Amino acid sequence: METKYIFVTGGVVSSLGKGIISSSLARLLLSRGYSVTIQKFDPYINIDPGTLNPYEHGECYVTVDGHEADLDLGHYERFTNIQTTRANNVTTGRIYQSVIDKERRGDYLGKTVQIIPHITDEIKRNVKSLGNTGKFDFVITEIGGTVGDIESTPFLEAVRQLKWELGKNALSLHLTYVPYLKAAKELKTKPTQHSVKQLQAIGIQPDILVLRTEKDIPLSMRRKVAQFCNVAPEAVIQSIDASTIYKVPTMMHEQHLDDLVLKFTGTESKGEPNHSAWNEFLRKLDSAEKVVTIGLVGKYVELQDAYKSINESLMQAATYCDHKLNLVYIHSEKLDDKNVDEKLSGMDGVVIAPGFGQRGIEGKFVALKWCREHDMPTFGICLGMQCMVIEYARNVLGLVDANSTEMDPHTAHNVIDLMEEQKSISNMGGTMRLGAYECRLKKGSIPAEAYGCELIKERHRHRFEFNEDYRERFEEAGLKCVGENPGTGLVEVVQVPQLTWYVGTQYHPEYQSTVLNPNPLFISFIKAAIANSDNKNQ
């Protein structure tokens, strides 16, 4: 079939969950047997979000091909179970960079380079590049930001042109907000009407409206919206707050979002979707009664999006182990020898978060020492793994000033050091060790048992690494290197086998955990945490 393009825009306010609606629609179309991909256009000038502070934009997600991406790509993968790549996330910066490079090469043959048509053509080329691979029946394109933003104007102009050029093969879905005014006890549709008017003024007539709301929107009100906005009444759908984002596909299906998309794009239906595996996950999520409590030690604890993929991976693993996840954020900056016992003793397992820089690092060492001495199931991820190594060096090997050269460039014991290939790099953007690399696991180690195989591939995002010079001393003292890159020998996984579950990974297993395919190492960790909880309760 010809590729169909679905454009998802948002209005009224940001953070309405365009990513979740796009992912849910993709899930429904996949369950009906179509091939689908989702891409996101971000209207900021950064080339990618890799240089953004998590306070600005939440977690930075990493694709298999080593692209530092918007966290929505994590949702896309968790919902669809299909890997994304660099082509799935494009920013204004990338578009301009490409146009400026072409201009310098002389590609525009003396023409004045302008937003229309040059920038919009470049956007259109990027929108269509995934469709042109011939691999996808549907390409869902999410436009970041809110209609009316100056930044998103060129993207919306490109959508307008594409809708015109693609005819029935293109569809516009607009997500808006219907606020509930407590004092008046009323839902208000005026902001939605205004937002649709704004979209129409740009030349885009939405085909489907999804209204985000906290309260049920009566049918009569949805009809009114339809009438004001030139949209078919059945194509005004509500997205009411759900207990979990993973219920949104079902909610959308109940209102026939997938049927509408097939109908509007003239796509023949292949029959009802098969949701059995997804529904089984939801059933487990709803029926779990026992609780597993995991402490996440990090420095961005006030920011729920900063560790998004870790949260979701833990939740997926807990669900598959028939437990509810109780995730407790522990601020590493506020952790010290005096309060660590009080903060950690109620946990069943502890995760030491990834990160960059000095802030909050000492708290991570305090947590790790306590976890090691109390045989707490402990999972160190990236910087968390590096901290595991440093703490072990300081307190077991007796190298009191051991450190990473990231924190102390002049440390006498650089047990974590800048990677050789990084030493000549001065640019910050896109230059870390990024993307999926192979890792060979040691037979009998926890990770080898968890994955059920010895050669795995996981994603990375770091500049520093375990210093090979200290390997023997660590191994002798009980911290084993149980995973390494088959080509370079870089140490990717450490474990203290004397402890029940004490594992650190240089890679980020959270980037590859999806609802239908949860990451085995998280499952193994959660199982250890549950066993720990059961032991305590006996």
**Which residues on neighbouring strands pair with residue 413, listed in sequence order?**
402
C-alpha–C-alpha distance, residues 262 and 235, integer Å: 12
Instruction: Tell which positions 460-489 bind ligand GLN, by CB under 6 A.
Output: 461-464
Least distance in angstroms from the C-beta of 33 to ligand GLN? 37
Query: Which of 383, 399, 491, 496 is in the footprint of ligand GLN by CB under 6 A?
Result: 383
Query: Of the ranges 18-26, 107-115, 187-195, 458-466, which one interacts with ligand GLN (CB under 6 A)?
Result: 458-466
Stretch 303-342: interaction string toward ligand GLN, x if CB under 6 A: ----------------------------------------
In the set 59, 122, 312, 510, the catalytic residue is 510
- Closer to ligand GLN by CB, 92 or 404: give it: 404
C-alpha–C-alpha distance, residues 420 and 422, integer Å: 5
- Closer to ligand GLN by CB, 21 or 383: give it: 383
DSSP 168-202: GGEEEEEEEE--EETTTTEE--HHHHHHHHHHHHH
C-alpha–C-alpha distance, residues 49 and 91, integer Å: 9
Q: Max alpha carbon distance in the chain (Å)?
A: 79
- Closer to ligand GLN by CB, 111 or 359: give it: 359
Cis upstream peptide for 117 (omega within 30°): yes
C-alpha–C-alpha distance, residues 337 and 121, integer Å: 59
Instruction: Tell which positions 14-43 bind ligand GLN, by CB under 6 A.
Output: none
- Closer to ligand GLN by CB, 50 or 349: give it: 50
Query: Is there binding between residue 434 and ligand GLN (CB under 6 A)?
Result: no
CB–CB of 141/73 below 8 Å?
Answer: no
Least distance in angstroms from the C-beta of 385 to ligand GLN? 8
- Closer to ligand GLN by CB, 54 or 206: give it: 54
> Which residue, chain included where needed, has tokens 């229309």?
116
508 an active-site residue?
A: yes
Least distance in angstroms from the C-beta of 360 to ligand GLN? 12
Least distance in angstroms from the C-beta of 288 to ligand GLN? 30
> For the CA atoms of 310, 85, 442, 365, what is the dihedral angle to 10 degrees?
-40
Least distance in angstroms from the C-beta of 507 to ligand GLN? 9
Closest listed residue to residue 177, CA positions, set 17, 21, 11: 11
Q: What count of Cα atoms within 13 Å lies in the side-chain half-sphere of residue 503?
A: 27
- Closer to ligand GLN by CB, 142 or 391: give it: 391
* Beta carbons within 10 angstroms of residue 324's beta carbon: 16
Structure tokens belonging to residue 77: 């993968």
In the set 60, 321, 371, 382, the catalytic residue is 382
CB–CB of 71/308 below 8 Å?
Answer: yes
CB–CB of 498/447 below 8 Å?
Answer: no
Query: Of the ranges 26-34, 305-313, 338-346, 456-464, which one interacts with ligand GLN (CB under 6 A)?
Result: 456-464
- For residue 74, the 8-state DSSP code is H
- The distance of Cα 9 from the centroid of its chain, to the nearest Å, equals 20
Single-letter code of the amino acid located at 170:
A
- Closer to ligand GLN by CB, 136 or 437: give it: 437
- Closer to ligand GLN by CB, 154 or 354: give it: 354
510 an active-site residue?
A: yes
60 an active-site residue?
A: no
- Closer to ligand GLN by CB, 75 or 463: give it: 463
Query: Is there binding between residue 437 and ligand GLN (CB under 6 A)?
Result: no
Give residue 145's region: left, alpha or beta (phi > 0; psi -120 to 50).
left
> For the CA atoms of 353, 354, 359, 360, what is the dihedral angle to 10 degrees?
20
Query: Which of 382, 415, 494, 499 is in the footprint of ligand GLN by CB under 6 A?
Result: 382
Least distance in angstroms from the C-beta of 459 to ligand GLN? 10
C-alpha–C-alpha distance, residues 450 and 453, integer Å: 8
Q: What count of Cα atoms within 13 Å lies in the side-chain half-sphere of residue 452?
A: 3
Cα–Cα separations (whole angstroms), residue 174 to 11, 19, 99, 164, 195? 7, 12, 29, 17, 9
> Which residue, chain included where needed, has tokens 């890799």?
50
- Closer to ligand GLN by CB, 143 or 382: give it: 382
Structure tokens belonging to residue 336: 């010290």
Closest listed residue to residue 141, CA positions, set 176, 177, 170: 170
- For residue 290, the 8-state DSSP code is S
Least distance in angstroms from the C-beta of 379 to ligand GLN? 13
Q: Return the ∠ at Cα 300 (arms to 509 and 16), rounded to 5°.
A: 85
The size of the interface with ligand GLN (CB under 6 A), counted in residues, is 10
Least distance in angstroms from the C-beta of 403 to ligand GLN? 12
Least distance in angstroms from the C-beta of 386 to ligand GLN? 6
Stretch 347-376: interaction string toward ligand GLN, x if CB under 6 A: -------xxx--------------------
> Which residue, chain included where needed, has tokens 């193994």?
524
CB–CB of 265/4 below 8 Å?
Answer: yes
Least distance in angstroms from the C-beta of 438 to ligand GLN? 19
Instruction: Tell which positions 392-411 bind ligand GLN, by CB under 6 A.
Output: 406
Binding site for ligand GLN (CB under 6 A): 354-356, 382-383, 406, 461-464
What residues act catalytically?
Answer: 382, 508, 510
